[in-house]
Structure 1
């Protein structure tokens, strides 16, 4: 019977041992796992890049919309402000002090007195404007701007009545109690003050006696927004 000698047996045994080595298998498994992780991270990176591109596109579109939105909001604010101005002008047109009507009514009041000769009539009209007060964030609505109208009528005259000075009190009462059309608040009494009154005097020709006096009528203030 022939004898067979395997001269590579030891080499083959060593190779078999190396193939069965768990460390080598672990290293091989780790390499495969790292490769899979790298591949998955590459996929995620591609998705992130795609999402970033989509985000940039959406942001660009939003910026375009935001410009249009801001323009629309500003136009709406200007329109509301213009409406407020128109309402204020309309209110002022219907409620403003009418000097012509006031002087016409004053003429009728003077006709009800005896011997009053007007020397001078002076009208003063002032507006005290208070600017808008803007609240701090979260503290409610702003306080609107206001305009307060102050009207004063001053009359300098002479009383030539039979008893000089008697008609001064009568005229003062008329001015205080009679609501003059065109006044800031119709139906509200005015504050009438006697600024001065002189002692009885005589004309140069000595034909008549009179007193000079000054009355000041202050009308109720009118505040508008």
Structure 2
């Protein structure tokens, strides 16, 4: 085994011991939510992107990588999750597809929790607590989608997605005509949002102008064809 491989495995083993000491393996068993545990070998696909989960998984031992697939078929690691993390919770609560895949990075022990069990618990909450939970779930889900977009979409696609998000803040139900961005973003701020340089953004906006998607007037971006903007990842 090469030195770099040994160092990587030692780091993972050390992190595993630390995480497991902070998060007991029987934590979820103590809540009497689910008794269904299962061990998985390294490289096991737990769910693919676009899956609508009927069970949420709680990691008790090992590490799981969240992955996305680019349009050209290349896979990218977006995040690494360890003991104590629950995967798929916000998507299951909102009844929307998972934007990423989950694959075991090491040998893992996972506890599967049926979403129906969680929903029965949620129904016992008061109205305010349920509304708060839904709000937090939407925020968490949107964060995962944005994280996936940053890793999987091209710079041009990210710009289109961000412009679409800004337009959604206008509250206009049907967007068929030219609409100025309701958010007063400077070009530098827009570039920071999509993680590119202002110069690269300028080239992309010029390209979009030539295609008739947008026009710029006194420093503001006006979306001419909002229905042609990419609005996010397709699951």
Normalising by the residue count of structure 2, what TM-score does the alignment of the two structures yield?
Answer: 0.19
Higher helix content, 1 or 2: 1
Rg bigger for which structure? Answer: 1
Normalising by the residue count of structure 1, what TM-score does the alignment of the two structures yield?
Answer: 0.20
